[in-house]
Amino acid sequence: MYKDLTFDDDGYLIDELRDLGYDLEDDDLSDLDFRDPDYGDYAEDAPDIILDVPYVPTDEKIIYAMLDLAQVTSEDVLYDLGCGDGRIVVAAALERNTRGVGIDIDPMRITEAIEYAGHTGVEYLTRFFEGDLLEADFSDATVVTLYLLDLVNLELRPRLLDELRPGTRIISHAFDMGDWKPDQRQNCGSINVYKWIVPAKVAGLWEWQTTQGDTYRVELKQKYQRVSGQAWINGQPALLDSALLQADLLELIIKKNTSSRAERFLMQHKGRELLAAEGDLQATPAVKIFQP
Ligand SMILES: C[S@@+](CC[C@H](N)C(=O)[O-])C[C@H]1O[C@@H](n2cnc3c(N)ncnc32)[C@H](O)[C@@H]1O
């Protein structure tokens, strides 16, 4: 059932005008400030936009290198933060059938991006928002692409680490992330493309039992994806030979002493536990008994 729609002489919906707070009993609507669709007037009216990064579009070759490095698939949700004319989001949709979101602070760029997605027929896979990338919610991304600047990457870094799920890939055209070293770097002529995989947070004191009845304990320190620490078996100091973290998977190699056999534990971080991901040596999930 359609609602009755009433329009004024200029074709505006009376209900919309009322919702905007205009007194429709007053015949003189000359004080209404409708935006002239002419772009010249629009630019004059538009508030000053402060760009943290100037608009420089990514070259097609680099876009494909970025999509390849991220191993983007149709299962992904790709966010381009500072999306310009939407070319990365559109390429991912066209080439990989990937759903994508582009965010840019410049409304002209968003208009271009929406038009581009429409022309290429991928509007059903893409969304573009005008907004500040430093404040936008991108937490449902599985891939984040960036072509920003070192300082903007650094400002964004804590949010990328805290708000993205472990395993999310971050791909940056040309600019790195300071002391968060990339998991992979690819050289495209004179340009570097960087990849980081968001690591789970595994620092703390963990304890679990093995099927042989031993109690293992590790104290892990973490800097980004790098993990180190100490181990104990049944309360006695042991050797933590190696600790490797990728996304939410943690591999620990532990020995009773230098001459004993190395035991390998592959665990998946879930909530406050590390669950056995391989083998039958680990009898119980590792539980966190202290958070630093
Ligand atoms: C170097 S261009 C990259 C465009 C696109 N990602 C590409 O690779 O082709 C940077 C973009 O970031 C946008 N930008 C700058 N500061 C921003 C901010 N604070 N929030 C959102 N977008 C911003 C600019 O408008 C520009 O389109």
What's the mean pLDDT in 175-203?
A: 97
Of the listed ranges 41-45, 112-116, 126-130, 165-169, the one predicted with least confidence? 41-45
Q: Is residue 133 within 6 Å of ligand 1 at its C-beta?
A: yes
Which pTM value belongs to this model? 0.84
Output the CA 84–ligand 1 centroid distance in Å: 5
Task: Identify whether the C-beta of residue 69 lies closer than 8 Å to the C-beta of residue 171.
Answer: yes
Distance 133 CA to ligand 1 centre (A): 8
Domain of residue 172: give its range: 60-197
For residue 116, the one-letter residue type is: Y
Rounded to whole angstroms, the Cα distance separating 256 from 241 reads 10
Does the Cβ of 104 fall within 6 Å of ligand 1?
Answer: yes
* pLDDT, average across residues 217-240: 98
Residue 3 lies in a domain: no
| pLDDT bracket for residue 47 (50, 70, 90) | low
Q: Which of 105, 154, 175, 188 to mutate to test the pocket of ligand 1 (most atoms within 8 A of CB)?
A: 105
7 lies in some domain: no
Q: Is residue 151 in contact with ligand 1, taking CB distance under 6 Å?
A: no
Q: How far apart are CA 237 and CA 46, in angstroms?
A: 66
The mean pLDDT of the chain is 87
Share of the chain above pLDDT 90, in %: 81
Report pLDDT digits (tens) over 262-283. 999 999 999 889 999 999 999 9
pLDDT reading at 37 higher than 60: no
Look at residues 172, 197, 222 and tell me which one is the last residue of a structural domain.
197
Report if residue 54 sits inside a domain.
Answer: no
Same domain, 230 and 164: no
CA-closest residue to ligand 1 atom 26: 55
Residue 39: exposure state from Cβ atoms within 10 A (0-12, 13-18, ≥19): exposed
Buried-exposed string 60-94: b where 16+ CB fall within 10 A, e elsewhere: eebbebbbebbebeeebbbbbbbbbbbbbbbbbbe
Region 132-157 average pLDDT: 98
Q: Span 199-227, mean pLDDT?
A: 97
